[in-house]
Structure 1
Amino acid sequence: MLNLRKSIWLVSMAQSKERNTFIMMITTFISRLLGILKARAISSFFGAGLIADAINFSYNIPNNLRKLFAEGALSQAYLPIFSKLKDDDENTSSFLGALFTFQLIIFIPLIVLSFIFSKPFITLLSGFNDENQIVIAANLLPFFLTFLFFISLSTLLSTVLQTRKAFLITGIGPIFFTLTVILSIYLFTNKLSYYSMALGCTAGSIIQMVSQAIVVRKRKIKLKLSNPLKSKWFILTLKAFIPATLYSFILILDQYLSFYIASMLESGAVSAISNSIIFYQTPYGIFFASISTVFFPLIAGEKDDEIKAKYLNNSLTYLVSFLLPSAIILLTLSEQCISAVLQKGRFTYLDTVLTAKVLKWYLFSMIPLAFSSMLSRYCYSKNDYSYPVIVSLVQAILDVSLMFIFVKLNIGAESISLALLISSTIAVLIYLPKIKLFNYPKFFKEIVRIVAANIPLILAAGIIFNLKLTYHVNGSNLKAFCITVSLGILLVCITLIFYIIFKIPFLSLLKNGAEKSAPSKVN
């Protein structure tokens, strides 16, 4: 009887896990699709030259700081605690209030200082020689930091909801944000110039935060200010946050140096990197964010090391299942996709070519990046915060060193993404000794099966690539868009057909947690 109850519980857990992953995947897909439309709006109105470089450089600063205060160090420190408090509304409210107050203490002085010292700050951080670029980036920075504040609060609220299996609203929130930015650019750029971006980001982040707060309140969780130092849960978070901050700070510094080096390269290099990141982050964000959002709380909340390792095994297998075909398809149609989305107005075919060159190495980097991020979370679940710091430090040193070497070799903007590929792959290898009770034979058997299932896709992609299609060179138009979409659908269909033939496990997600597939995810 006990074994029967345990089996029923495991099946239920598996079904819930897959259903939640599927929900996050769909909402993240919509959000990333809108992110591409946002990039199209920016490129259409601001091109890929001096103004766009200034906007992208300034926007990248708060985006980097998200690794600390939003979906980074702080959230990874407090998520395991919220997981433990998921059935305790009173302590959850108290802990939430302490974290809310802590974020206010951090951000209010930061935003005030950014209004006063934005220009010298941008001058110090960037390699811009054009005074207008420095002014534009400096004018936008305080608004972008304000947007970071509200996004950080939104992440805090969404984490509470995720631990209580409310995944739909956490997935919809970013959609509100991106829609607001797009509307602001189209409606207000003619009147406000580049400030339309500032308006959209600030308003969108507020809307995203408020949407999460409403649902939190409906869950009977109170949101009020409280003294962080009086919360034992906050003290525990702080102990985890400090080493996690070192980890994230190293990543931030690495990313900053990437953009600093890019700002000294040819005109358009910063925009090429920013736009290529948007394209590779679309499949990466959809699949990694969806899978890690569901699996990390499970890994963090599991006391049994063997089951913890099984969750890790499943998460890595799912990542390869989705990211490998995504990389192949996008690599095949990189120029076509970039042209269809961005090549309009001030964005030229030369900008498309440069962006595609940078993008190809980012696509190769997706799987090692996803593995490295998932393995760092696994270490956090084991209360090991020092090892990810060591790995990130080694990776950052290697990444920056390779960037400088490749720049000296005149590789250009591609230096940034090529260096990331090599450094992230080495980071994964460094993590391997820390994985305990991991079933390597089973994992490699699954990976071989996934690779075999992708061979027909690789052959089809090779045929399309060798056709040397040129329909997209004249820029974004309906004909080019339809051809690109048709080719993409063809490649996706080939993937699905052979995934069905090879019985790749990712299909169980698309069945919304079918009962017959559930036991295989927990046994």
Structure 2
Amino acid sequence: MNLLKSAASVSAMTLLSRVTGLVRETITARLLGAGSESDAFFIAFRIPNLLRRLFAEGAFSQAFIPILSQTAAAEGRPVAIELARRVSSLLFLVLLLITLAGCLGAGWVVLGMASGLQPGSEQFELTVTLTRWMFPYILLISMVALASGLLNTFRSFAWPAFAPVLLNVSFIVGALVLAPHMPQVSMAFAVSVMVGGVLQVLVLWWGLQRNGCWINPLAGMSRLGLAWADPQVRRVLQNMVPATLAVSVAQISLIINTNIASHLTPGSVSWISFGDRLMEFPTALLGVALGTVLLPSLSAAATRSAEEYSRLMDWGLRLTVVLALPSAVGLGLFSDALVSILFHYGRFEAHDVHMTSQAVVAYSVGLLGLVLIKILAPGFYAKQDIRTPVKIGIGVVVATQLMNLAFVPLFDHAGLPLSIGLGAMLNALILFMGLRKRGLYTPKPGWAAYWLRTVAASAFMAVVLVLANQHFDWIALRAEPVLRIVWVLLVIAAAGVVYFAALAVMGLTPRKLIRKPA
């Protein structure tokens, strides 16, 4: 198996997803700006996204993929597919009930997510309406997560990585075609979310059929008794309980932060959300891509060889550090330029650029930790140890909220992402120490020199970005948007060349950086 090729395939598709996602966010910022309507949309969209991470991509993947991988290896592909069919039927039923409850109780859900909104106000009613429109997205995206897990287990990574592109395309089309005919732009985006969810389900189910893994959760509804009696299904469900707790820890922190932001200056939720989109770009390209590829690989290696397991982990961590550290430096030093070329159009004003830039800088402090978690946590999941990340996560949530008490009064809305970033760094450190203490991971020699070279190369890159910021007024270049885009891209390219050239001079050539584990 070529791990690098698989990771590159996922990264390429994820890059396409993130590029179209940034186009989506550019259009959103242009049409909505950063105010009451945009806050209403982001709060409403955050609710199904939170549940998606809680039940689908997070807890479900962590509980399902290791067991599915082991079943496929021990009992064969047909048995693994049958397990997926039975799990899909139970998952569909549970999420259908949750979706119905969420649509009926949307008002209570909004109050729980954003207590700063005043019941009866225009913004509150809009948020409730948007929530009802988009809540069924969790059902669609959960079926996407199941199909993605099955395809990833059988080493078909491209289709799951491509699926999010369809949501972004749906957004873009909705903004261009549907928005001019709707009373509010946010309603057009809500419709786009649902259309995008349907498209993702259709494409991945087609991908399953092409790979001979066809499953139909509706067909299995009449055989729920058999599914419940299956010991492997019960193992998945049992593992989902601590996995749900593990993921919910982070989501609880997100709910608290959204509540806090809803009490701050109007636009705070939007500024943080736009900053989050920029932060997710490197997080997805690096953490999600490597984590997606490593989890099934680590699960298989865990049953074969402790040494192979440790080598895979070391490879993932080295690749993460050498790419995530300069990304963090770039986001922190070049935030004004990045926010300007992406969002500074239409109703998105210079003040919004400054506020969003503050959130981006705050996120950049913890970017390395956010990415490392995507690599370190699968190290526990591959061993079917989900309880340890839960315990760590609970402590990190407490620490994050304590940091909010200090940072929000000092930095207003930027204090929230700063607490998240520092909490992620703490989380990654404790996960790393846990793997080391249990003897699951033994770092290969040369890490100290590796860190020094990466930090030194990042410093050279930082000089390029600082000089560019002194030379250009990125906000004033709004009058010449094409020229601004050209200059930003040229500076990014120059910074990248300087970084990798510095690494090469210090002995870290591209071939050495991406060399797969032996």
Q: Which of these residues, 127, 139, 148, is aligned with residue 138 of structure 2?
A: 148
Say whether residues 1:101 and 2:102 are aligned partners.
no
Say whether residues 1:67 and 2:53 are aligned partners.
yes
Query: Which residue of 2 is the match for residue 10 of structure 1?
Result: none
Q: What's the CA shift for 1:42?
A: 1.2
Give the SS at the match of 2:155: coil
User: Residue 420 of structure 2 aligns to which amino acid in structure 1?
Assistant: L
User: Residue 110 of structure 1 aligns to which amino acid in structure 2?
Assistant: I
Alignment of 1:15-164 (within 5 A): 16-86=2-72, 88-126=76-114, 127-129=116-118, 131-164=121-154
User: Residue 331 of structure 1 aligns to which amino acid in structure 2?
Assistant: G
Q: Distance in 1 between matches of 2:118 and 2:247?
A: 29
Q: What's the CA shift for 1:508?
A: 6.3
Q: Is the Cα contact below 8 Å between 2:113 and 2:258 reproduced in 1?
A: no
Q: Which of these residues, 165, 181, 202, is aligned with residue 194 of structure 2?
A: 202
User: Residue 504 of structure 1 aligns to which amino acid in structure 2?
Assistant: L
Q: How many residues align?
A: 499
User: Residue 147 of structure 1 aligns to which amino acid in structure 2?
Assistant: Y
Distance 1:476 1:306, change over 3 A: farther
Q: What's the CA shift for 1:445?
A: 3.3
Query: Per-residue displacement from partner, 1:220-268 (whole Å, max 9, x unpaired)?
Result: 2231324231322211111211111111111111111111101111111
Q: Distance in 1 between matches of 2:381 and 2:476?
A: 46
Distance 1:355 1:25, change over 3 A: same
Query: Per-residue displacement from partner, 1:459-505 (whole Å, max 9, x unpaired)?
Result: 22232234463454636721211121121121122223233334437
Q: Which of these residues, 126, 150, 166, is aligned with residue 156 of structure 2?
A: 166
Report the more deviating stretch, 270-279 or 38-47. 38-47
Query: Which residue of 1 is the match for residue 272 of structure 2?
Result: 273
Q: Is the Cα contact below 8 Å between 1:332 and 1:464 reproduced in 2?
A: no
Q: What's the CA shift for 1:48?
A: 0.5
Query: Which residue of 1 is the match for residue 211 of structure 2?
Result: 219
Q: What's the CA shift for 1:322?
A: 1.3
More RCO (CA 8 Å, sep 6+): 1
Give the SS at the match of 1:95: helix
Query: Per-residue displacement from partner, 1:152-199 (whole Å, max 9, x unpaired)?
Result: 111111111111111221221111221112111221112222221121
Q: What's the CA shift for 1:447?
A: 2.4
Distance 1:476 1:138, change over 3 A: farther
Q: Is the Cα contact below 8 Å between 2:92 and 2:143 reproduced in 1?
A: no
Q: Distance in 2 between matches of 1:476 and 1:184?
A: 27
Query: Which residue of 2 is the match for residue 335 of structure 1?
Result: 336
Report the more deviating stretch, 74-83 or 451-460. 451-460
The sequence identity of aligned pairs, in percent, is 19
Query: Which residue of 2 is the match for residue 4 of structure 1?
Result: none
Give the SS at the match of 1:499: helix
Alignment of 1:187-336 (within 5 A): 187-192=177-182, 193=184, 194-224=186-216, 225=220, 226-227=223-224, 228-302=227-301, 303=303, 304-336=305-337
Unaligned runs of 5+ in 1: 1-12, 511-516
Q: Distance in 2 between matches of 1:316 and 1:268?
A: 37
Query: Which residue of 2 is the match for residue 8 of structure 1?
Result: none
Q: Distance in 2 between matches of 1:29 and 1:499?
A: 24
Report the more deviating stretch, 236-245 or 363-372. 363-372
Say whether residues 1:465 and 2:469 are aligned partners.
yes
Q: What's the CA shift for 1:210?
A: 1.1
Distance 1:426 1:148, change over 3 A: same
Unaligned runs of 5+ in 2: none
Instruction: Give the TM-score, by structure 2 length.
Output: 0.91
Report the more deviating stretch, 424-433 or 190-199. 424-433
Alignment of 1:350-389 (within 5 A): 350-389=351-390
Q: Distance in 2 between matches of 1:68 and 1:470?
A: 38
Report the more deviating stretch, 454-463 or 413-422. 454-463
